[in-house]
Amino acid sequence: MLSFITRRLLLGILTIFGVILITFILVRVIPSDPAAQWVGGRATPKQVEAAREELGLDKPIYVQFEHYIKDLLKGNLGYSLMTHQPVYEELKKRFPATLELVFISCIIALLIGIPLGLISAKDKNSWIDHFSRFFSIGAISIPTFWLALVLQLIFFMILGLLPSGGQLSMKIKLFQNVPHITGFIFLDSLITGNFAILKDFLKHLILPAICVGAYTIGLVARMTRSALLEILSEDYIKAARSYGLPERLILYSYALKNSLGPTTTAVTLAMGYALMNTFLVESVFSWPGIGKYIADAVVCLDYPVIMGVTIFAACAYILLNLIADIIISLDPRVKL
């Protein structure tokens, strides 16, 4: 088992290397003038020259690549053209908000999506099956950014029930001492028992969470359904029935345990999509995470930020896949 993990880890590192290679091509090879891009459109010619020297653009490509990797390993992702702050620091600051959003959305999505897929497969072709299939396909077809605007329209503008954005309302931020233990507002308010903050946070969380989670629910429900349908048509399920085992044991134990592989894959994919959805949703809801960070950066072509977030998100995704592979390898059928 350990050798499997080491092998997989090495493979992961190799993949990250591939990612870095691709990003290098994006940053240095594709643009017509990487130095000018790096310092932004409003730089003086002198600044561009300085950047050119700093980036070592006169040196051969492989030397540039070497410098690039060295920079990355040092944690040097460049400086934001807008704020002139190191990208790495800004990412660190903003990441917890996005993580919280993605994590909570995914948990809710799984709690809804998996049972939906399960019931759908169990009672195939019943009305609930047709309903959930239509619902799932609808969920993966809806444009996330549009859903965000529509929800904001309905719940903020028309109904006035929910806030239009941010993590916490002004009142709370000004008058309450927001605890900072883990960096996650949800956990911190739970730990300190501050339910006022918790309630406020949840009110702010609900709309972005729905937007981030919508695609995920549809995806997970569909994948669960198809995995279970295939499993339920297998011979060992037929045999288990012939031995007189009750249906619920067959479904929740025999069938479900076989779906570890497809379910893990579905969850991983779902989290990947959720992360991408935050890019689209955070700016609409002014959620202070890396999604908003990159969305703002794109508008003013803040290339170091764009690059930093890309590398970061890609590495996070690779890590996620690594964990998923390890979980799947727990299946006794998988030969290590």
Partner 1 sequence: MSKKSNYYNILIKRRLETLKEYLYLLKQNKLTFAALIIILFLIIIAIIAPIIVPFPSHIYGAVNPQDKLLSPSWTYLFGTDEMGRDLFSRVLYGTRISLLGSLIAVAMGLLIGVPLGLMAGFYGGFIDEFVMRIVDMFLSFPPLLLAMAIAAFLGPSLQNAIIALIVSWWPWYTRLIRGQVVSIKEREFVRAAHAIGTPSWQIMYKHILPNCISPVIVQASMDLGGIILTLAALSFLGLGAQAPIPEWGLIVNTSRTYFLKAWWYGIFPGMAIFIAVLCFNLLGDGLREVLDPKTKKY
Partner 2 sequence: MSNYFEIKDLKINFETSEGIKNVININELDLHKGETFGIVGESGSGKSVLAMSILRILPSPPAFIKSGKIMFKGKNLLELKEKEIQKIRGKEISMIFQDPRSTLNPVFTVGQQIINVIRYNKFLTKKDAEKEALRMIKLVKLPDAKNTLHKYPNELSGGERQRIIIAIALSCGAELLIADEPTRNLDVTIQAGILKLINELKEELEITVLFIANNVNLVFIVSGRVAVLYKGKIIEIGTSQEIREEPIHPYTRGLLGIVSPAEREIKNLTEANLKEGIKAENSICPFFYECEERIEICKKISPTLTKVNNGHWVSCHRVIDREVDNESTSISH
Site residues (vs partner 1, CB under 8 A): 15, 18-19, 21-23, 26-27, 30-31, 37, 133-134, 137-138, 140-146, 149-150, 152-153, 157, 229-230, 233, 272-273, 275-276, 279-280, 284, 294-295, 298-299, 301, 303, 306-307, 310, 313-314, 317-318, 321
Q: In whole angstroms, how close is the CB of 111 to partner 2 at the nearest point?
A: 23
Residues in the chain, total: 336
- Residue 239 binding: pick among partner 2, partner 1, none (C-beta 5-8 Å cut-off by kind): partner 2
CB closer to partner 1, 10 vs 21: 21
Task: Specify which residues 79 forms β-bridges with.
Answer: 86
Gap between the Cα atoms of 251 and 229, Å rounded: 11
- Mutual angle of helices 144-151 and 260-285, in 10-degree steps: 50
CB closer to partner 1, 187 vs 237: 237
Gap between the Cα atoms of 282 and 297, Å rounded: 13
Task: Specify which residues 86 forms β-bridges with.
Answer: 79
- Residue 290 binding: pick among partner 2, partner 1, none (C-beta 5-8 Å cut-off by kind): none
CA neighbor of 267 nearest in space, from 331, 213, 312, 229: 213
- Residue 107 binding: pick among partner 2, partner 1, none (C-beta 5-8 Å cut-off by kind): none
Q: Which residue has the tokens 């406020």?
A: 200
CB closer to partner 2, 114 vs 313: 114
Q: In whole angstroms, how close is the CB of 19 to partner 2 at the nearest point?
A: 34
CB closer to partner 2, 54 vs 247: 247
CB closer to partner 1, 179 vs 261: 261
CB closer to partner 1, 110 vs 306: 306
Q: In whole angstroms, how close is the CB of 18 to partner 1 at the nearest point?
A: 3
- Residue 157 binding: pick among partner 2, partner 1, none (C-beta 5-8 Å cut-off by kind): partner 1
Q: In whole angstroms, how close is the CB of 236 to partner 2 at the nearest point?
A: 4
CB closer to partner 2, 94 vs 133: 133
**Count of other CB atoms within 10 angstroms of residue 140:** 15
For 208, the token pair is 């972005």
- Exposed/middle/buried for 56, CB within 10 Å: 0-12, 13-18, 19+? middle
For 169, the token pair is 């309302």
Could you give the C-alpha distances from 128 to 6, 117, 217, 258, in angstroms and in order? 45, 10, 16, 23
Gap between the Cα atoms of 257 and 287, Å rounded: 38
CB closer to partner 2, 219 vs 227: 227
* Amino acid identity, position 126: S
List contacts with partner 2 (CB under 8 A).
125, 233-236, 238-246, 249, 254, 257-258, 260, 331-333
Gap between the Cα atoms of 241 and 120, Å rounded: 20
- Residue 144 binding: pick among partner 2, partner 1, none (C-beta 5-8 Å cut-off by kind): partner 1
**CA dihedral for 51, 52, 56, 62, sign (positive or negative):** positive
- Residue 319 binding: pick among partner 2, partner 1, none (C-beta 5-8 Å cut-off by kind): none
- Residue 246 binding: pick among partner 2, partner 1, none (C-beta 5-8 Å cut-off by kind): partner 2
